[in-house]
Structure formats: structure tokens, C-alpha cells
Amino acid sequence: MRYPNGKPYTPASTTETAGNKSPEYARRGMTLEEDLNQSNKYYLNHGVAVIHKKPTPIQIVDVHYPKRSAAKITEAYFKQPSTTDYNGVYRGHYIDFEAKETRNAASFPMKNLHAHQLLHMEEIQRHGGLAFVLIRFTASQQTFLLDATHVLHFQANLDTYKRKSMPLPYIEEHGQIIAMGFAPRIDYLKAVDHYYFSHL
């Protein structure tokens, strides 16, 4: 099953149980989304933050109501998300981000971010929220936090950069690498602390 953007669909059930797997097994072929769901659950259960992934937007066309059983959706289609996938509250701040994986070894294709998602991140910053993108390079298993400012700057200067993919050095220079662990599997809020709050 695939999202409109071609990203493989992960059933909620899989994601729900991801956190219960042994570390050895868990680390094998875990997607960034699974790592984030496990980490967000960890943050919630440990009183660190309240951050959730938004449900996949779906256009419902037809629903049946069988007697003595749950309503069954029989025709529906994936809709293009108009916001980012994750948001919540951390240390009194509104947090909003998109998480993307790329198989590219040395750059992140900007086409992975929709125009309305970039606009959304710009709006979030204008209203005092923290907006960023989590980018994972699946080949090296390196994951970076990149503040929306740098994503928007690159997007606004594609002609100057003469390319539609953010080079890894640009991400390394302006972003914050995220340590991988077991609990939480991906401690991206530590990167948030370092990037946004280290001056406090």
C-alpha cells in the first residue's frame, strides 16, 4: 500500500507494536516513521512531550452499515496532506515537523516536500512555533534535524544552487545530527534542545 507520494504505507498495528520488539529485531529495517512513533510514545509515557503523528487524510466516498457490526468504509481515497505529519507541545513550545527518508546517499530531493507543506512551516514560524524537517539517509542511517528556515532558504534559491536536491554538506552545516538509541529509538528532542534551547 502506498501514499500518493509513493511512500510505503505502514499499518498502524505494525507501528503500535514496533516499540515492543527486542532492540536487535527492532533496529532491523525500522522506518523513520516507526522510530518516531516509538520515540513519541516514549516521550509521552515519560512526561517529556506530547507529540503525535496526524492520521493519513482520506476522502471517504462510501460507507456501509452492517447490522450488529462496525461501519465499514468501502470506497475511499488518499488525500494530499495540507500540513506536516507531526505536531505537538514540548517545553511550552508548539512543535511541528515533517519526517522524510531518502535512498540518495549525498542529497535530499526537494520534491519530497510539497509546496503547501513548505508554506505551512513558514506560517508556523511566523506564529512562534518551531518548524523543522527530519531527514534520514537510509543508506548511512544518518538522521538530521533541519530547521524550516534552511529548508525554505534552499527552496527559495534553487536557481542559485542550480539543483533541486539539498546536498548533504548543506544539511550537515545547517542541521543537527540525531543520535540513534533504543529508548527512545530516535531522540530528536535532544537535537531540538541543542539546536533551539542550548543558549538558555
List all residues 6 or more positions away from 178 whose beta carbon is below 8 Å from its beta carbon.
134, 143, 144, 145, 186, 187, 188, 190, 191
Phi and psi based region of residue 82 (left: phi greater than 0; alpha: psi -120 to 50; beta: remaining) = alpha
**From 30, 49, 99, 148, residue interacting with a copy of itself (rule: CB under 8 A):** 49
The reply to whether 193 sits in an annotated binding site is no
Degrees, nearest 5: CA angle 190-196-199: 105
Instruction: Say whether 122 sits in a helix, a strand or coil.
Output: helix
- Is residue 17 close enough to count as binding a copy of itself by CB under 8 A? no
- Is residue 177 close enough to count as binding a copy of itself by CB under 8 A? no
The interface region with a copy of itself, picked from 25-33, 56-64, 139-147, 161-169 by CB under 8 A, is: 56-64
The reply to whether 34 sits in an annotated binding site is no
- Is residue 63 close enough to count as binding a copy of itself by CB under 8 A? yes
* 48 close to 29: Cβ distance less than 8 angstroms: no
Binding site for a copy of itself (CB under 8 A): 1-2, 4, 9, 11-13, 44, 47, 49-50, 52, 54-60, 63, 65, 70-79, 82-83, 87-96, 120, 123-124, 126-129
